Structure 1
Amino acid sequence: MRKQRIFWGLFFIAIAAVMIANQLGMLGGFSMMQLVLGMLFAAMLVKSALYRSISGVLFAAACLGSVFAEELGIGAWAPWTLLSIALFLSIGFHFLLQPKKKYVDHGQAHSFSKSVEHVSDDELSFHTSFGESIKYVNSNALEKAYLTCSFGSMKVHFENAGIQEEAYLYMDVDFCGVDLYVPKNWQVVNRMHTSFGGINEKNHNAADGNAPRLILSGNLSFAGITITYI
Structure 2
Amino acid sequence: MRNRNGIFWGLFMLLSAGILIVSQMHLISYTFGFWTVVLTIFLVAVLIKSLVYYAIPGTVFSLAFLAILYAKPLGITAIVPWTVLGAALLISIGLSFIFHPFIIKHRFRNMRYYDHVGHWHNARVHTRVGHHVDVETVDQPDVNVSVRMGSSVRYVTSDDFKEANIDVSMGNAKVYFENVTVQDTAVINVNVSLGGVDLYVPKNWNIVKEIDDNSMSGLIEEGNPEITEDSPTVTVHGYISLSGLKITYI
| TM-score of Structure 1 vs Structure 2, range by shorter chain | 0.7 to 0.9
Partner of residue 35 from structure 1, selected from 25, 34, 37: 37
**Shift of residue 92, structure 1, vs aligned partner:** 1.0
Which TM-score applies when normalising by structure 1? Answer: 0.86
- The residue type equivalent to 1:96 in the other structure is I
CA displacement 1:123-171 (0-9 Å, x = unmatched): 2211112212110011122222111112221110011112222211111
Once the 2 structures are TM-superposed, how far is the Cα of residue 103 of structure 1 from its aligned partner?
2.5
Counterpart of 1:63, as a letter, is: F
Structure 1 segments of 4+ aligned residues over 4 angstroms from their partners: 1-22
Q: Distance in 1 between matches of 2:15 and 2:63?
A: 19
Structure 1 residues without counterparts, runs of 5 or longer? none
Percent of paired sites with the same residue: 36
Query: Residue 162 of structure 2 aligns with which residue?
Result: 143
Please show how residues 133-172 of structure 1 align to structure 2 within 5 Å: 133-172=152-191
The two structures, once aligned, show a CA RMSD in angstroms of 2.8
What SS does the corresponding residue of 2:66 show, helix, strand or coil?
Answer: helix
Aligned with 1:97: secondary structure?
helix
- Aligned pairs for 1:1-230 (under 5 A) are 25-27=24-26, 29-98=31-100, 99-100=104-105, 102-103=123-124, 105=126, 108=128, 110-111=130-131, 113-195=132-214, 196-208=216-228, 210-230=230-250
1:81-104 deviation line (CA, Å, top 9, x unaligned):
222122111111222223348436
CA distance in 2, matches of 1:30, 1:45: 20
Q: Any conservation in 2 of the 1:190–1:216 contact (CA below 8 Å)?
A: yes
Contact in 2 for aligned 1:62/1:86 (Cα 8 Å): yes
> How far did residue 201 of structure 1 move?
0.3
Alpha-carbon distance change, 128 to 17 in structure 1, aligned in 2, over 3 angstroms: closer
Residue 178 of structure 2: SS of its match in structure 1? Answer: coil
Aligned length: 226
Higher mean alpha-carbon deviation, 208-217 vs 175-184, is at 208-217
How far 1:5 moved relative to its partner? 9.2
Once residues 12 and 203 of structure 1 are traced to their aligned partners in structure 2, the CA distance between those partners, rounded to angstroms, is: 37
Task: Flag structure 2 segments of 5+ consecutive residues without an equivalent.
Answer: 109-122
Query: 1:39 offset after TM fit, Å?
Result: 0.7
